[in-house]
Amino acid sequence: MGTRSRRRIPVNQQSIRGACHCKRRWIVLCHAGACNACRVAYAGALDEVEPRLSAASMTRRPSLLTLGLLVLAATTSPALQPEAEVVELTRSGSHVDVRIGGRLFTTYYVDPSVAKPYFFPLRSAAGTVVTRSFPMVSDVAGERRDEPHQRAMYFAHGDVNGLDFWGEAAFPKWSDHPLSTFGRTIFRTFDEMQGGPHDGRLRATFELVAPSGSLAEETQSFRFAGDEQSRIIDCEFAIRASHGPITMGDTKEGTFAIRLVGALASPPGHIVNAEGATGEKGVWGKRSNWVDYSGRVADESVGVAILDHPQNLRAPTYWHARAYGLLAANPFGVKQFTGDRRQDGKYAIPAGGSLVLRYRVFIHHGSPAEAGVAAVYRQFATLE
């Protein structure tokens, strides 16, 4: 009998259920590359999908035909593999609307009257608003009106060469320093703006401006994608020391943040990190690959996670995650997060140098376990 050739079929990013020796069933999270029960590694192609086990442990292995049928079912079943939806970007003056599947997902604002760019609001795939409206909208019944500088989603830090870009001079009572030490992130250009059948991309350039003049150049880049179940924003923030050296100071006030809708605050919502720690006490100031807030908003069980890329500075990052609904990744506030005066989280960018930070925002149905947040992180971590 001759040797049979085997055509390689890439495994998609959906769960393929079959058998594993650990429980005599296959439960393979193919985008994670492992059985979610025993963590045995699996490869990402049909001719390599069998478990990498010793001969003694292979007490029950499926046939290649069985695995092939499972792969085929997963790659052809709409229920297992939601189809990516078309992404459209439309600019109108100082804002850009992002639509996914023909429905408004979010809007990016670069309003010169506001101290920093921001997104507002963020919506789930079902259209549920998952971010606070204040201060952009001030008449939402029952909504907390604290910390007005915490906009729906933004990137800013509270100590850049001693200046505060996290707070805003328009709301001085929420900061403990004089007006002369606030900075502004000033829009310059849109460098890329395009939609597509599977994703859309947006890139903008800003200047970090002090009362005395420009400090640095900042580029904010985003990739938007979604399907009938979830929404994703891949974010990259690059700070270039274009006007001399930059020091990012050690403060908890930063850095990449989402202010969530009240229903996701804890309680009634739930906060959990990659290690399974829960609540503000278990998550705030701790290092982790990701943090997720979930709960019921209106009629939807929904969650929002920020994922830290493993190539980021000090990954896994520290988290400025508050029970009232602030979710922020901050790699700089080491002294304040640890309470150790011997620590210093400041980071120096030499003149002409750059610091790049990357994050993924994942908006999903259900709990983090139901949505597979851990597996989404593992896929994100493979991106170069």
- With respect to residue 8, please indicate whether it lies within any of the assigned structural domains: no
Residues 69 and 139 in one domain: no
In Å, how far from its chain's centre is CA 289? 10
pLDDT by residue, tens only, the chain of 384 residues: 444 333 333 333 333 333 333 332 333 333 344 444 333 333 333 333 333 333 333 334 444 444 443 443 444 344 456 899 999 999 999 999 999 999 999 999 999 999 999 999 999 999 999 999 999 999 999 999 999 999 999 999 999 999 999 999 999 999 989 999 999 999 999 999 999 999 999 999 999 999 999 999 999 999 999 999 999 999 999 999 999 999 999 999 999 999 999 999 999 999 999 999 999 999 999 999 999 999 999 999 999 999 999 999 999 999 999 999 999 999 999 999 999 999 999 999 999 999 999 999 999 999 999 999 999 999 999 998
Other Cβ atoms less than 10 A from the Cβ of 8: the count is 10
The reported pLDDT for the residue numbered 82 is: 85
Range of the domain at 64: 15-76
Number of domains observed in the structure of the chain: 2
* Element holding 26 (H helix, E strand): strand 26-29
Give domain status of residue 343, yes or no.
Answer: yes
What is residue 311's predicted lDDT score, i.e. its pLDDT? 98
Q: Rounded to an integer, what distance in angstroms lies between the CA atom of residue 277 and that of residue 322?
A: 14
Q: Quote the pLDDT of residue 81.
A: 65
Measured CA to CA, the distance from residue 27 to residue 359 in angstroms comes to 28
**61 plus 96 within the same structural domain:** no
pLDDT at position 70: 41
* 9 within domain boundaries: no
Give the span between the Cα atoms of 21 and 249, in whole angstroms. Answer: 51
Assess whether 105 and 59 both reside in one domain: no
To which residue do tokens 């925002």 refer? 361
pLDDT one-digit tens code per residue, 155-195: 999 999 999 999 999 999 999 899 999 999 999 999 999 99
Q: Can you give the C-alpha Rg of the chain in angstroms?
A: 23
Q: Please, which residues bridge with residue 237 across strands?
A: 220, 357
178 lies in the same domain as 274: yes
45 with 172, same domain? no
C-alpha to C-alpha distance for 129 and 304, rounded to whole angstroms: 11
Final residue before a domain boundary, out of 28, 43, 76: 76
What CATH number is associated with residue 376? 2.70.98
Say yes or no: 25 and 96 in one domain: no
Is 148 part of a structural domain of the chain? yes
Q: Which of 76, 96, 116 is the last residue of a domain?
A: 76
Residue 225 shares a structural domain with residue 292: yes
| Same domain (yes/no): 51, 161 | no
> Read out DSSP for 261-284?
-GGGSTTTSEEEETT--BHHHHHT
Spatial strand order in the sheet of 15-18: 15-18, 26-29, 34-35
Residue 82 lies in a domain: no
**In contact, 361 and 257? CB cutoff 8 Å:** no
Q: Are residues 274 and 208 in the same domain?
A: yes
Evaluate whether residue 5 is within a structural domain. no
Residue 249 phi, psi (nearest 5): -80, 165
The verdict on 264 and 297 lying in the same domain is: yes
Q: Are residues 323 and 301 in the same domain?
A: yes
The residue out of 24, 57, 76 marking a domain boundary is: 76
Q: Do 149 and 188 belong to one domain?
A: yes
**Separation CA 292–CA 298 (nearest Å):** 18
Domain membership of residue 6 (yes or no) is no
Environment class of residue 1 by beta-carbon count within 10 Å: exposed (0-12), middle (13-18) or buried (19+)?
exposed
7 is a domain residue = no
Two tokens at 360?
């993924």
